[in-house]
Amino acid sequence: MRTDRGYSLTELMVVVGLLGILSSMAVAQIAMSRPGTKGDSGMRVVLAQLVQAREMAITQRRNMRVTFTNSNQVDIQREEIPGPALTTLQTTVIEGGVQFLIVSGVPDTPDAFGNSSAVAFGSATEVKFNPQGQLVDQNGQMLNGTVFVALSQDKRSARAVTVLGSTGRVRGFRWNGTVWVKV
């Protein structure tokens, strides 16, 4: 005969033990996914800034210069007419330790715009979107480029943003350990 007094101590210990095992597995999984999450965040900041600069160039009918400064800052500046005056419209810092960085052993993206540096726009000294939405250099010549972001030497966090100059198309890529995957 059984009474209705509740659970035994043994049953409670088994449940607490199982909860402990499951929670430790969850903590380990979260720790392993954290670099990828930070890389995604940095990539999305760069992607958003490039898309916003393109849209502002089209809507304001002005060249919008995009500058990548320090190791984690994106500036959008409007070129004023007349003259060489610039107005800084937005400055955004990538947080979480993510930087403009190429991780050793990670190849160029499928777009193959170059990975000679973390901010790879060929020999351009200025990168800007014109009022037609194209990405051009200081001479008005269309150019393609890639911005690589990552945590310091952590392949799990490697991300890239590419820009096709003729259309201004901006795409993000995530490194999965073997190939670049379009986001």
pLDDT in tens for each of the 183 residues of the chain?
Answer: 666 778 888 989 999 999 999 998 888 777 777 788 899 999 999 999 999 999 999 999 999 999 999 999 999 999 998 878 999 999 999 999 999 999 989 999 999 998 889 999 998 999 999 999 999 999 999 999 999 999 987 898 999 999 999 999 999 999 998 999 999
81, two tokens = 């007419």
How does pLDDT run across 94-116, given as a tens digit for each residue? 999 999 999 989 999 999 998 88
The whole-angstrom separation of Cα 101 and Cα 155 is 11
Looking at the domain covering 36-182, what would its CATH class be?
A: alpha beta
Q: What integer pLDDT is reported at residue 69 of this predicted model?
A: 92
Scanning 7-133, the segments in alpha helix (DSSP H) are: 9-60
- At a CB cut-off of 8 Å and minimum separation 6, what does 75 contact? 65, 66, 67, 68, 69, 88, 90, 91, 92
Q: What integer pLDDT is reported at residue 24 of this predicted model?
A: 86
CA distances from 25 to 13, 14, 15, 16, 139 (A): 19, 17, 16, 14, 55
How does pLDDT run across 150-172, given as a tens digit for each residue? 998 789 899 999 999 999 999 99
